[in-house]
């Protein structure tokens, strides 16, 4: 699946766990990033996230979940509260 926008292309990859990881390809303007949505209260790092990060050369992955706290799951992988999505890319991937 591929969706084109004026800023970046969004590609969807279905992994072995049958979830979809979307990654954002912006022709080098921003770091390559991925977004995965979970319906659990406390997401954890999974082998499929590691594989997606390596195979797709992603610098960061935001795992959106219905909780309230932002926290690190692993190197370059962060659990992001669903309410942060309304802030767009800055909500998913805040500038340091």
pLDDT of residue 84: 93
The predicted model scores a pTM of 0.73
- Rounded to an integer, the average pLDDT of 32-52 is 87
Burial 28-39 (b: 16+ CB within 10 A, else e): eeeebbbbbbbe
- Rounded to an integer, the average pLDDT of 75-93 is 91
Domains, the chain, in order of start with CATH, read 2-92 (3.40.1350)
In which band, very low, low, confident or very high, does the pLDDT at 30 lie, cut at 50, 70 and 90? low
In which band, very low, low, confident or very high, does the pLDDT at 5 lie, cut at 50, 70 and 90? very low
Residue 67 has pLDDT above 70, yes or no: yes
* Comparison of pLDDT for 5 and 75, the residue scoring more: 75
């Amino acid at each position: 699946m591929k969706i084109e926008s004026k800023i970046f292309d969004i590609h969807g990859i279905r992994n072995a766990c049958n979830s979809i990881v979307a990654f954002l390809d912006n022709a080098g303007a921003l770091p390559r990033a991925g977004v995965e949505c979970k319906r659990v209260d406390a997401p954890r790092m999974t082998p499929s996230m590691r594989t997606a990060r390596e195979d797709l050369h992603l610098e960061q992955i935001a795992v959106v979940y219905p909780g309230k706290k932002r926290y690190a799951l692993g190197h370059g992988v962060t659990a992001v509260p669903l309410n942060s999505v309304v802030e767009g890319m800055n909500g998913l991937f805040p500038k340091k």
